[in-house]
Amino acid sequence: MKKLAIVFTFVFSLFIGAEAQKKMKPWTEWSEKEVNKMLNDSAWGQTQTETDTSEMFYSPNSQNRNPIGNRPLDTSGGSSNDRSTQGQLNQATTVDYRIRLLTAKPIRQALARRAQMQNPELAEKLKAFAERHTDEYLVVAVDFESKDRRFSGPAMQIFNSANTGVLKNNTYLENNDGRRLFLQEYIAPINDGMGAKFVFPRKHNNAPFVNEQSGYLRFFSEMSKNLRLNMRFKIADMTYDGKLEY
């Protein structure tokens, strides 16, 4: 039994070592698949999918629908948005909201690698962005996409028209003891591939808001009556290169 335990320990240590080596692969060598995995389905980047089923069944007399929250669209202004003009889909449609901890190094590395693959000449500038660290702010970035641009339009309107004053009382970070950290600044999307930025102070009562005992970090924002962003990140999974990254 003692020999068996030693063998098991040895094999387990080899497994852990292999996993560590796999995680330590330089970000400059990540594949497109690895980049997308980090950005959209990881400890630091997750996806909230909103599905609209109003397009599944066509009715010529039905109201125009908003793919966010399934409410009627405002069609004032002289332009026609009805389905006879746009074309019917007869299927459920979705908008994916990519919610990412932008101040976490692996997310910045993934964004830098994606841009690097698109334009290798930016390698040196992107390296500085990927390795940068801040002790002052915690930033959540939210991007969105849909296979049909007609359904990402309402989301774009919401994000572009939002501002800090409107969002500051209903946008916050929360951990497992119920403490909340409210929004400090909102930055609308620009053409940088990162989406909207939600900026929070990194400290609460002069102490880091997040630590190894926090359990989880929840991001919540009521962007409008039709759109609520709500994502939880598990603290235990957020260690990267031996350090808690967020």
Does residue 7 sit within a domain? Answer: no
Does residue 37 sit within a domain? Answer: yes
- Three-state SS string over the chain comes to CHHHHHHHHHHHHHHHHHHHHHHCCCHHHCCHHHHHHHHHCCCCEEEEEEEECCCCCCCCCCCCEECCCCEECCCCCCCCCCHHHHCCCCCCEEEEEEEEECCCHHHHHHHHHHHHHHCHHHHHHHHHHHHCCCCCEEEEEEEEECCCHHHHHHHHHHHHHCCHHHHCCCEEEECCCCCEEECCEEECCCCCCCCEEEEEECEECCEECCCCCCCEEEEEEEEECCEEEEEEEEHHHCEECCEECC
Does residue 58 sit within a domain? Answer: no
Does residue 67 sit within a domain? Answer: no
Does residue 62 sit within a domain? Answer: no
Range of the domain at 219: 26-48+95-244
Query: Given a cut of 80, is residue 20 above it in pLDDT?
Result: no
Does residue 76 sit within a domain? Answer: no
Q: Which residues pair with 187 in a beta bridge?
A: 197
pLDDT at 88: 54
Does residue 99 sit within a domain? Answer: yes
Q: What is the mean pLDDT of the chain?
A: 81
For 197-208, b/e burial (b = at least 16 CB within 10 A) is: bbbbebeeeeee
Specify the pTM: 0.77
Query: Given a cut of 80, is residue 246 above it in pLDDT?
Result: yes
Q: In degrees rounded to 5, what are phi and psi of residue 232?
A: -115, 130
Q: How many domains does the chain have?
A: 1
Query: Given a cut of 90, is residue 93 above it in pLDDT?
Result: no
189-201 tens-digit pLDDT: 998 889 999 999 9
Query: Given a cut of 90, is residue 77 above it in pLDDT?
Result: no
Does residue 157 sit within a domain? Answer: yes
Q: How many CB atoms lie within 10 A of CB 233?
A: 24
Mean pLDDT to the nearest integer, 103-107: 96
